[in-house]
């Protein structure tokens, strides 16, 4: 696969909705956002939807949510188009999401991940996310989830 020399990450806009829906459908067989959920995240949620492009192609996205007065941000979603796996785009999106959290004054990032999603579990482990809770039956098909937490100092884990 030819990779563009121009990889960018920016805030997604409503005009990106169709591409985000296509990305969800390519990457997930279950537990994916509906078009209405994505539209809400883009227009009404307290958060940021980031979109990664390789040239003009949408290759991934990440969603960070937060609450007023809370020190924790939540990585609500991170997805990379399977066509682009192995290019480090997940790591780049994760780092961008962490920067968003730090820029808005959040000291901790939490997330949930399917225990059987080996690539994501590996990424989060390498990035310093510690398991804080096991969540039996959390995902579709009764799949187990893992709640993980991270902070820049790696000491203030939720």
24-61 pLDDT per residue, tens: 999 887 778 899 999 999 999 999 999 999 999 999 99
Name the more confident of 3 and 76. Answer: 76
Which residues make Cβ contacts (< 8 Å) with residue 14, sequence separation at least 6?
Answer: 39, 42, 43
CA 30 to chain centre: 16
Q: What is the pLDDT of residue 11?
A: 97
- By C-alpha distance, which of 116, 154, 113 is closest to 133? 113
Q: What is the pTM of this model?
A: 0.89
Residue 112 predicted with pLDDT over 80: yes
Residue 94 predicted with pLDDT over 50: yes
Residue 127 predicted with pLDDT over 60: yes
Residue 158 predicted with pLDDT over 80: no
Mean pLDDT of the chain: 91
Residue 136 to residue 12: CA distance in whole angstroms: 32
Under the banding of pLDDT at 50, 70 and 90, the label for residue 1 is very low
């Amino acid at each position: 696969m030819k990779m563009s020399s121009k990889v960018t990450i920016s805030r997604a806009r409503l005009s990106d909705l169709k591409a985000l829906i296509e990305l969800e459908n390519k990457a997930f067989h279950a537990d994916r956002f509906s078009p209405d959920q994505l539209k809400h995240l883009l227009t009404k949620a307290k958060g940021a939807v980031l979109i990664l492009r390789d040239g003009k192609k949408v290759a991934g996205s990440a969603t960070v949510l937060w609450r007023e007065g809370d020190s924790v941000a939540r990585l609500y979603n991170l997805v990379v188009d399977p066509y682009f796996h192995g290019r480090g785009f997940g790591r780049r999106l994760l780092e961008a999401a962490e920067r968003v959290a730090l820029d808005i004054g959040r000291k901790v990032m939490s997330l949930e991940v399917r225990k059987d999603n080996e690539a994501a579990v590996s990424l989060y482990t390498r990035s310093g996310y510690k398991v804080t809770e096991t969540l039996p039956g959390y995902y579709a098909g009764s799949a187990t989830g893992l709640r993980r937490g991270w902070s820049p100092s790696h000491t203030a884990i939720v």
